[in-house]
Structure 1
Amino acid sequence: MSFISAFDVMGPNMIGPSSSHTAGAARIAFLARKMLNSTLKKVQFTLYGSFAKTYHGHGTDRALLGGIMGFGTDDMRIRDSFEIAKDIGLDFSFVPNEIETDVHPNTVDILMTNENGNHILIRGESLGGGKARICRINDVEVDFTGEYSTLIVIQKDKPGVVTYITKCLSDQGVNIAFMRLFRESKGNTAYSIVESDGLLPENIAEEIRKSPNVSDVMIIQL
């Protein structure tokens, strides 16, 4: 059973009006942006459930756009996120999807495109109290919140790859709090997600990328 504190009920310091529809949305987009290891040029937000119905009135659109530009939940710039995005040349759009209903009520898909035209698709859920969960990367179901320092390794699903990752972490003195493996199917693309109590070393991604079975490494540290 999960514990709910008074801070979860009241929500975080935020630009309102709703911890679920603004703070949680900003948090999802903030986490998603940290998974793109290059310059963001275009972003499309597909909204589901209550997000799709009330995103403009509750400021979900401004919060998502602010989060994708790296603004925290209490950053006053969220109020002007549309204007700021246009000023920096960020192409953005919002697509409400009220047809697909088998999702969490506060769900958003974030499709990011970098300067080379490469894409990454992130799905997140706003859980209330400003908390969020990333539940999909591209076509693979995952599960993490970004509350810990998080290492995400995109790899081939082959023997020895996870051992290699844990050795790299051990050699650098990283204490693993949680580690989980998610995959498309046996032998295809897999995602190792490692959450650590402390900050991850700056060069850990470079070390892990040395494996020929690793295609990308992403680090989320707040």
Structure 2
Amino acid sequence: MNLFDIIGPVMVGPSSSHTAGAAKIGNVCNKLMAEKIESAEIYLHGSFAETGKGHGTDKAIVGGLIGMACDDERLPESFDVAQEMGFKFTIQAADLGDVHPNTAKVIMHGVSGHSLEVVASSIGGGRIQVVMLDGVKANFSGESPTLIVHNVDKPGYITEVTRLLGIEHINIATMQLYRKKRGGEAVMVIECDECVPDSTIKELEKLEGIMKVSYYCPE
């Protein structure tokens, strides 16, 4: 544990978990969407729902969704900024089940008609954990470039994805595999040491059996 795990990041307060972490959840959602978000439904669970309004959790998540970082001084005015941008959103409390008390579910709708559902938790010190993508289990922190590949659960896809990353000399830090059922939809969550080029993402999207590719880079 380092000092920033205790005192949190440089941020607009008052809380590293309820404010900075919430802003980071919104910001990660924004980058995963990879296009302008027209609207979003935001569901706050547990402590986020109970005490979040006083900590600015709602404004922090909306700020993150429209591209604000956790130290952006405009976070307290994010609702007004969102309205000026034409970004529509709803916020309500919800029981998301057996998850961390500081958890939010965000359902986004982009300008292309594409939608993405993200469930993420603020785990303290401004750190977060994405735990679900489009109803499929996931587990990544948003601290590293992360590639999420949805594919048909058949042999060969892991080899092809790692081959394409190897061509670009991208080192894999962690790799997690999930699936809903055998032979159904599978998900690879790959945290990398380097950013993944757009050309590699486009090559992955062309592969037969690849349903969707999402990418997050903190830079």
1:101 CA drift (Å) = 5.2
Instruction: Report SS of the residue matched to 2:206.
Output: coil
Aligned residues: 218
Which amino acid in structure 2 is aligned with residue 175 of structure 1? N
Instruction: Select which of 40, 53, 65 maps to 1:43.
Output: 40
The aligned residue for residue 72 of structure 1 is 69
| Residue 144 in structure 1 maps to residue 140 in structure 2 | yes
The aligned residue for residue 102 of structure 1 is 98
| Residue 159 in structure 1 maps to residue 155 in structure 2 | yes
RMSD: 1.3
Identity %: 38
Give CA deviations for 1:158-195 in whole Å, capped at 9, x if unaligned. 11011110111111111111111111111111111111
Bigger helix share = 2
Q: TM-score, normalised by structure 2?
A: 0.95
Structure 1 unaligned blocks of 5 or more? none
Instruction: Select which of 55, 59, 78 maps to 1:62.
Output: 59
Q: TM-score, normalised by structure 1?
A: 0.94
C-alpha separation in 1, matches of 2:158 and 2:63: 35
Runs ≥4 in structure 1, deviation > 4 angstroms? none
8 A Cα contact 1:139 1:184, kept in partner: no
Give CA deviations for 1:86-134 in whole Å, capped at 9, x if unaligned. 001111111112x555321101000101224432110000000000000
8 A Cα contact 1:109 1:123, kept in partner: yes
C-alpha separation in 1, matches of 2:96 and 2:146: 30
1:207 CA drift (Å) = 1.4
Instruction: Select which of 196, 205, 212 maps to 2:201.
Output: 205
C-alpha separation in 2, matches of 1:52 and 1:39: 26
C-alpha separation in 2, matches of 1:213 and 1:164: 12
